[in-house]
Structure formats: C-alpha cells, structure tokens
Structure 1
C-alpha cells in the first residue's frame, strides 16, 4: 500500500459509486486505526444517500451511519407504525440525522442529537435504543440504584419488543421530511402506518440550518396610483429552494375561481438547479362542513377538467385501488390528467425498496401492475372509473362542465367532520367567538 504524501489533502470521490471509498480512521473503542468505507448511492424511488461503515481489525468494533445526500422536503413529517408482531420487526426504515424516535407506550423518546442517520429495520432501531439506554448502566447500579432500576425496566421492555411478545407503536418525527417506514400493503394504504406532514417552526428551520422566514425582509407591496390600469398583482418574496437550498424567489397571486372561491397560487423557480414547483392554498374562512366530490370518468374529455386539490384533500380511484391520503402532494391546481400523472410520478420516485433485495417478486409485480393501471387511467385507456375527492375543509374544486346547472356525472355531498378530524386539523382548540379581550373596568 503506497503512502499518502504528508501535504496532499485526502480526496474521496463519493460520486464514483462503482465501489466504496476507503479511508483510515481512528477506532474510538481501542484507539487503534481501522477502516471506514463510504458509498454514495440511491435508494430506488427514494433519495440519494451516503452510507458509511467502520470496522476495526484490532478489537472487532463495527459501526455504520447513513447521511442524506439530497435536499430537505418542503415540510416536516411524523411517521407512526403500529408493530403487531415479529413480521413487522422486519420492516425496513430510514431515519435521518434530524429525526427523533419515540416508543409511545413507554413514553421514551430518543432525541435527534442522540443518534445519527440509519438505514435499518424496526428491530434494528429497537436494538440501537437498547444500546443507548444500556450505556452507563453498570455505573448507575452502584451510584444511583433507583435510576438504574427505572432504566433497566425500559430496557427489558424493549427486549420483549424484539421477541415479538407484544405490540407497540413506533413514531419517527423528522423536520427534514426524509425518514421512511416500509409500507407492506403497496399500492394500497397500510392500516398500520400513519403519516402527518406539518409546517416547520423557526426553531426547526434553524436546527436544519435553513433560513428562517423571520429573517427574510418583508416584500414590498405594489400600490396602484390614480390613472394606472388595474393589473394582476403578483407578490414576490425571497425563499430557499427545497432541493438545493440556494436562494430563490416565490411568486404569489390571489385569483378567483368561478363558482368556487378565492385561492392563493404560489410558484417557485430556482435559477440554480432548475427546480420548479407550484402550490395552491384556499383563501377565505374555514368551511363548517367537509365536502366529498365523486366524478364518473366516462369519457377521455373528463380528464381535461380543471381540478383544485388542496393540501388537506385526499383522493381515491376504487377501480385500481388508488388511495392518496390527506397531506400528500400539497395543494395543486391542474387538470384531472395532470393530477393523476403527478401522483404517478410521486409514487414512482418516492416509494423506496421496491427494487431492493428484500422486496419479494410478488410485491414488485403487484406494484408494477398498479402503476401501469394508473398510467392507463391518465391516458384515457381505462374508463369508466370513479374519482373521489374528499376534503374535510371543503377547499377543493372540480370543474363542472355544465355550470351553473348540475353535472350529471358529478356528485357533491357535504358531511360533518368528526372530532378526530378536527383535532388533526387543529380546529378543536381554535376559538373564533369572543376572542377579543374585554375593556378593563375603570377604577372609581
């Protein structure tokens, strides 16, 4: 092995993923030198990642770490899995550097700064939790026996989880939106998985190293002067690209959709990496009831109908087992065909492990058949089908070709939201009546 010149910097080309790069590293367990292997790769239909594995030939210590090489999502998310038995312990998962892990029944949370990124299984994550809690236990047994007994009780419970003796709920909270737990029911929704997207707080943006909106200057609002012609008002404000994090601009415009309501359209175009995105948010007050729109697609012309899908809207096509949960894709203003193609692209690019070694041939074939069926619907080759749009805030819209008369192919129904839906939307704690403080009484 040739020696590295003393003054020559070490350069590792991670983008050459034909083989892992190897560098000599210090073993933190025995103090001798070991080897770290680094590989830049991509999980199929998910994200680019950097896998690092360390091995010491002197003491046998091994360690591995995963880091995301891609960009942060526009929102953070929580992913919960209800583990029912031994078979669920084999679910693969990705936990990013910024994600915290919580075992709900034990009320035990492992913060993000306590464990680096991992590409493992549910059982592997439980193993890491056991290792973290077990550190320092021999010392605690002699210095603080009460604390030792409490921690040991949690360790024993986690060990029983590994045996599949009882069910438990695992929740990953990731403000970067880059964590994942395997869906065993693809292309359908997994009843044991729950995912919720949320807007990051300024503190979470700072934790991720992103520019907080509070530090952005307030955009200047153009004003009209007498004699000026009325032009569409487009506001521009600075932001950061969600893909490359470079400074970019977001344009915002308020428009009125006939026979519906006012909506806000926001569009971002990054000059650095070329990434483009658009999002639609409904304006006006919160509707008292939810709305469900059912469209019978009987002709290819129905695919050209305008559709506004809000960020709280879910959609489904029962004939091909398509079910898109609320919060997926964000807000979109497009056509029915355009929305179906966006769903196809999102599922194709973001569902990982479909081509991994752990995926069975049966699961892969079922997934490929589903994508083919979805593409046939978008092409107008598979009709008739039923498109169902369910929005608990009634902020979604589907064009009525016979407006203002009723559309014979479309059914619109309103429904009362249940308590759990209101809780998820944050409406149970919202007070819009008598919220102003009363005038203080004047002292005599």
Structure 2
C-alpha cells in the first residue's frame, strides 16, 4: 500500500462507481502457509451503508475465500421496530435485517434467532424463508418426533395464512412483525416517510449484558463489578446528535452560555466516552434564558476517538400543564429566532407536510433555520429505503420534492409558513422578539395533559402526597 493512499484526505468509504478501486494486500494462506493476495474494497451501498468486500486468493494451492462485512458503526442504542400488518402493502415493505437482529411474531409465539449474514428483503420474503426453513426437515420429524412435527405444522399453517392478507387495509392487524436489533442498524420501511407511520413503532433501549457480549462489545469473562459500572454509565443517557451537526450545535450552545452569564462557573466532572469507553470530561452549566427558564447544557468531548456530543435539559419543576407554541414565520428575520426543542416536544409545519413526533432528534437549542437544516439532513441520511435502485420512483420523487421544499423553507424562499411546537412538559421555547410585550405572530396555549401523555412521561406513577404511607402499605 502506498504512502499516498494512507495519508489521503479522501473519504474511506465511497459510493460504488467506476472510480472506486480496491486495495491489494499480501496475506498468509491458512492452507499452505504461503503468501496469497487479499483484495479489499470499501464502499457504500444503499440500505447497507458502509460495507467491506474482501476476496482472498492463493496462487500456490488455489484457496479462495470471499467475505462481506459491515463497516457501519454500532449505534449508541439498540432498536426495536414493531409493524402491524393489516394488508398486502405491509407484506411488501422492505426490511434491512442485520446479522445481529432477531425477528418475532408474538401472536404465533414465533421467534427467529440472528442470521449468519445481513439481508435486504421484504416482510413477505422473510416469512416465506421461515416457512421453507421450518418445512425442510418435517418428513424426518414426523417419524422421530411426532409431537414436534405437529407443533411445527400448526405454526406453518399460521404463517401461510399470514401471507393471505387482503388488498384493502381493514385496520385490523393480522399479526405483528417485530424486528429487534441490538446494533441499531436494522430497518423496516416507512410507507408514510417523511411523516410518521401509524402502523410502525420504533423503540430505542440500552443493551443487556448478553447482547453486549454477542456483539463483541464486552468481555464475557468480565466480572459483575465491571458490568455494573458500565450499566450505571448507560442509565440516563439520551440520544446523541450526529457528529456533523455537533460542531454547529456546540458553537450555538457555548455562545448562548457566554451571553447568558460569564459569572457562573462551568462544572467539569469525569465520565466515560460512550463510543470508545475511554475516560473523558463532561462540562455542564446552567443558563438562564430570558422570559423562559433555566436550562442545563452539557457537552462531552473525547480526545481519544474524537467523539463529541451535547445535551440540553430544562431545569425547574414539572409544569402542571402542557404547552403548545404556534409561530407564523413571515420573513427571513423570523428564521433567526432562537428555538429550544426539548426531547418531549413534537413539532410540525402543515404547509410543508412535516410532522415530527416527540423524541425525534432529541433536545436541540438552535435557530428556526438551523432546526430546519438539521431536519433536512436527518431525513436525507436516515431514511434508507428512498435511495438506490429498489426505491419506487413515485415515492422517491415525492421525497426529493419534500426535501427541496424543506431546504427552500430554511433559506427563506417559502414564506409564510406555520411552525407548531407541542410539548406536554412545557419545556420548549421560541424566542419572542417583542418581549416583554406579546408577540403578534406567536400564540402560546396551555392544555391539560391526557392520561396517555402522563403515562408516557412516567407521571402517573409519581406519588408526592402521603408517599410514606404508600411505601409502608407495599
């Protein structure tokens, strides 16, 4: 390998085209122990993101070996996708199944363990593959294990019926397709992208000890003390924003902190990097936003691997009511307004057909223009089924048009439009440029939270009156 390639500024993984070339490395053949040649190709493919193609050939004994490995980083959290299948269109949804993913159908008490390799297929394709695998050895089971044979036959019948869904959406789920991937790199197609899909629910979770061992992230011989220490570090962690966005967000946060007060001390405490687990420092400061409330700004930078992250938390007590802020953006000056979107806040722009659920993108402190740019980049990079040759042309074209409208809105070319922040915790904020007077273009509404909202926020289980009596009763 030449020195020019080692120190090249070109990206390591590039799109697969005519200009992408492989790298040849002299390697030891494990059969004859002579030197052979390994060819490496690092590229990006739609749906699978970054992959490593390897091909080994030995000219002495003729041994050949080909491998495909994922070059994508393991996500910070595991991910579970739950799809309610009600019609034929749901069976045709594309699915990226990583080699670490488990698939289950709770209604049938069926679970498929992780596969040996990653695949791109559909829900119907996966179910058909399960049917083929289960039916392959039925003749032998019929004689040797009749009870097992009958149980598998009953399951096969249920799976075959699952493939006969009606063309029209009845609204009644025939079965639930659950894709659980601790690496966070598996996906189920969202047919309503960029809007939220009412049939598809995505949950993020902290990995268990067994999952960490399975992916090679934890030594299986590590004692409980080491695991408990790491588990403590994971508790309370929230979703991180992408490194490409962090530089801009960090500048905004530090500028706001300096403008708010220079007298307050920036607290520094030790932590471990969530990417490489090397000790690093986390900085925290309380910032008072005028005419709003105090917020907690935390920033972590790892000098070892370069990982950066920041979080914005609202201080103070829990508001007794939720809050909905509606702003009519009429000119480019409105795009420069500061905006604090908490993790519990959803936001929408009806004119752009944009509706982002609570928890999307985490907490952000930026401007309206910056928020729209971040949404544009997130959607462009994180919706994998609208790129590549397998994407439907009509949906792909609609998505491209949506991204263009979103970019035009952030540049001030699509005005006016209405931005609505709906936060059941009332921890979100849009700058009032007329403060302390009311803003004629902004409407603030308070509302009573529903039982479901309190349940999602964990407020129904909080007991603040006579809690000592409740503990004694338990």
Q: Which category of TM-score, normalised to the shorter sequence, fits these structures?
A: 0.7 to 0.9
User: After alignment, is 42-51 or 329-338 more displaced?
Assistant: 42-51
CA 1:46 to 1:98, structure 2 compared with 1: closer, same or farther past 3 Å?
A: closer
Q: Which runs of 5+ in 1 are unaligned?
A: 1-13, 26-36, 54-63, 219-228
Q: Name the TM-score, length of structure 2 as normaliser.
A: 0.71
Out of 424, 431, 441, the residue aligned to residue 399 of structure 1 is 431
Q: CA deviation at 1:289?
A: 2.6
Helix, strand or coil at the partner of 1:157: helix
- Select which of 90, 113, 131 maps to 1:88: 90
CA contact 2:346–2:423 (8 Å) conserved in 1: yes
Contact preservation (8 Å) 1:67, 1:97: no
Q: Which residue of 2 aligns with 1:189?
A: 196
Deviation at 1:374, TM superposition (A): 0.5
The answer to whether the 8 A contact 1:292-1:388 is kept is yes
> Aligned in 2, Cα 1:330/1:104: closer, same or farther, shift over 3 Å?
same
Partner residue of 1:385 out of 417, 428, 441: 417
Instruction: State the match for 1:159 in structure 2.
Output: 160
Shift of the 406–361 alpha-carbon distance from structure 1 to 2, 3 Å rule, reads same
For 1:126, the equivalent position in structure 2 comes to: 127
Matches within 5 A, 1:320-339: 320-339=352-371
Q: Structure 1 residues 147 and 382, CA, compared in 2 at 3 Å: closer, same or farther?
A: same
Shift in Å at residue 321 of structure 1? 0.6
Q: Which residue of 2 aligns with 1:309?
A: 341
Contact 1:317 1:386 in 2 (8 A): yes
Relative to structure 1, the CA distance from residue 190 to residue 294 in structure 2 (aligned partners, 3 Å threshold; closer, same or farther) is: same
The within-5 A match list for 1:228-267 is: 231-242=264-275, 248-267=280-299
1:193–1:280 distance in 2 versus 1, CA, 3 Å? same
CA distance in 1, matches of 2:127, 2:264: 59
Distance 1:209 1:153 in 2: 37
Residue 308 of structure 1 deviates from its aligned partner by: 1.1
Tell me what 1:169 maps to. 176
Change (3 A) 1:76 1:436: farther
For 1:381 and 1:353, locate their aligned partners in 2 and report how far apart those are by CA, in whole Å.
28
Identify if the C-alpha distance between structure 1 residues 440 and 203 changes in structure 2 by more than 3 Å, giving closer, same or farther: same
| Residue segments in structure 2 that go unaligned for 5+ positions in a row | 1-11, 30-38, 56-65, 167-172, 219-226, 234-261
RMSD between aligned residues: 3.9
Distance in 2 (alpha carbons) for counterparts of 1:204 and 1:437: 40
CA shift at 1:315, angstroms?
1.1
The question of 1:148 aligning with 2:183 is answered no
Q: CA deviation at 1:44?
A: 3.8
Contact 1:241 1:247 in 2 (8 A): no
1:95 shift after superposition:
2.4
- Give me the whole-angstrom Cα distance separating, in 2, the residues matched to 1:241 and 1:194: 25
Q: Judging changes above 3 Å, is the alpha-carbon distance between structure 1 residues 431 and 194 closer, same or farther for their aligned structure 2 residues?
A: same
Q: What whole-Å deviation, never above 9, does each CA across 1:197-243 have from its counterpart, x for those lacking one?
A: 3455666556555576824999xxxxxxxxxx96423233323354x
Residue 281 of structure 1 is matched in structure 2 by 313
Which one of the candidate residues 178, 188, 208 is aligned to 2:185?
Answer: 178
Aligned residues: 396
Q: How far did residue 357 of structure 1 move?
A: 1.4
Indicate which of 381, 402, 414 corresponds to 1:370.
402
Shift of 1:328: 1.4
Per-residue deviation, residues 321-376 of structure 1 (Å, max 9, x unmatched):
11112211111111111111111111111111322212122222211111111111
Distance 1:336 1:163, change over 3 A: same
Q: 1:371 to 1:217 in 2, by over 3 A?
A: closer
Pair 427,137 (structure 1): closer, same or farther in 2 beyond 3 Å = farther
